C-alpha cells in the first residue's frame, strides 16, 4: 500500500485544488470524460485543440507506472465535441490506495464532467468472446476485497450508502451497441469482474469467477465506477478483450499480448468513440 504521509486537508479540498490547476491550463469545458486502459491510450492523440497535462503536474495525482499508460490528462475536441481523456490510470496493485486510484474521478466531477466512459483491457471468460472484440459492461463484480468508499464520507461528493443498481447506465449501453452495429464492429454485452492483480488469475480462480456469472476479468474499472456513481455521474464501460483468460485457453497470458491487441483494435475503437461521444 502507499507509504506517503496521510494528507491533512480533506479529500474534497484536495480535489478542488487539482481542478483549479487544470482550469488554469485550459479554457475547454466538457461534461464527458474517458479513462483509457492498457493499449488504448492512443485515442487521446486523436484530440484536436488539445491541452496535455502530465499527471505529475496535477496536485494529488499519482504516477502511472504500467506500460501502455502514458500518464497524461488530455483535454480537447473529438470532432465537434469537447472531451477530457485520461491517458492511463492508476491501479491498486501499483501500491496506491483506492482513494488515490479514484482521485482523478473526483477531480473530473469537480471539473463539470457528468458522463464517464471507462475502458479497459480484459481477459475473456465467455467462450464466445475472441481477442480483439469489445464488450459493453452491463454490471460488475467487485472481487478486490475492498471498496473505495471505505472511510469518512463527505456529503459534498455523495451519500454514505450509494445505490449501484444501475452502475452502468442502460441507455448509454444502448448507444454504444447501436454505434458499434453501424460500423460493423463485433461487440458483446457482459459482466466485468475485477481482481487486484498484478498476477494473472489461475485457472481455478477463473473457474470460480465464471461460476459467479462474469464474462470478462481485469484489474481496474470497478473502483472508478463506484466512485463515479457515488457522485451521481453516468457511467458506460467498454472492455477490449485482449486475451482468453487462464484455463479458457492453454496459451500463457502476458502483458505484451494485451498491449498488442489494444494497438490492433485502435482504429475501430477510435471510430466507435468518435461516434459515441457526441451522443452522450
> Rounded CA gap, 10 and 197, in Å?
29
Instruction: Specify the residue for cell string 464501460.
Output: 237
| Local structure of residue 126 (DSSP, 8 states) | S
Strand partners for 250: none
Cell (9 digits) for 188: 458483446
The H or E element that residue 104 is part of is: helix 98-110
Cell (9 digits) for 102: 479514484
Helices within the chain (DSSP H only):
11-25, 98-110, 170-182, 203-211, 222-230, 255-264, 266-276
> Rounded CA gap, 12 and 31, in Å?
19
Strand partners for 188: 135
Phi (first) and psi of residue 254, to 5 degrees: -145, 155
Which residues are known catalytic residues? 38, 69, 91, 93-94, 121, 219-220, 243, 255
Amino acid at each position: 500500500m502507499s507509504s506517503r504521509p496521510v494528507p491533512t486537508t480533506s479529500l474534497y479540498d484536495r480535489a478542488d485544488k487539482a481542478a483549479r490547476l487544470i482550469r488554469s491550463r485550459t479554457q475547454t469545458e466538457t461534461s464527458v470524460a474517458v479513462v483509457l486502459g492498457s493499449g488504448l491510450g492512443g485515442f487521446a492523440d486523436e484530440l484536436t485543440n488539445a491541452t496535455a497535462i502530465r499527471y505529475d503536474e496535477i496536485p494529488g495525482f499519482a504516477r502511472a507506472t504500467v506500460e501502455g499508460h502514458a500518464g497524461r490528462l488530455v483535454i480537447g475536441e473529438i470532432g465537434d465535441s469537447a472531451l477530457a481523456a485520461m491517458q492511463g490510470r492508476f491501479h491498486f496493485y501499483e501500491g496506491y490506495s483506492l482513494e488515490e486510484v479514484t482521485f482523478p474521478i473526483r477531480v473530473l466531477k469537480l471539473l463539470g464532467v457528468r458522463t464517464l466512459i471507462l475502458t479497459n483491457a480484459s481477459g475473456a471468460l465467455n467462450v464466445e468472446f475472441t481477442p480483439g472484440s469489445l464488450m459493453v459492461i452491463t454490471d460488475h463484480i467487485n472481487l478486490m476485497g475492498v471498496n473505495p468508499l471505505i472511510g469518512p464520507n463527505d456529503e459534498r461528493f455523495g451519500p454514505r450508502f450509494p445505490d449501484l443498481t444501475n452502475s452502468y447506465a442502460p441507455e448509454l449501453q444502448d448507444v454504444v451497441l447501436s454505434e458499434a452495429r453501424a460500423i460493423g464492429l463485433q461487440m458483446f454485452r457482459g459482466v466485468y469482474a475485477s481482481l487486484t492483480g498484478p498476477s494473472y488469475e489461475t485457472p481455478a480462480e477463473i473457474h470460480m469467477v465464471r461460476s459467479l456469472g462474469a464474462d470478462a476479468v481485469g484489474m481496474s474499472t470497478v473502483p472508478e465506477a463506484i466512485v463515479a456513481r457515488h457522485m451521481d455521474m453516468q457511467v458506460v464501460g467498454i472492455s477490449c478483450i485482449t486475451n482468453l483468460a487462464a484455463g479458457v485457453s492453454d496459451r500463457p497470458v502476458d502483458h505484451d499480448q494485451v498491449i498488442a491487441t489494444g494497438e490492433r483494435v485502435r482504429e475501430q475503437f477510435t471510430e466507435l468513440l468518435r461516434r459515441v461521444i457526441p451522443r452522450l
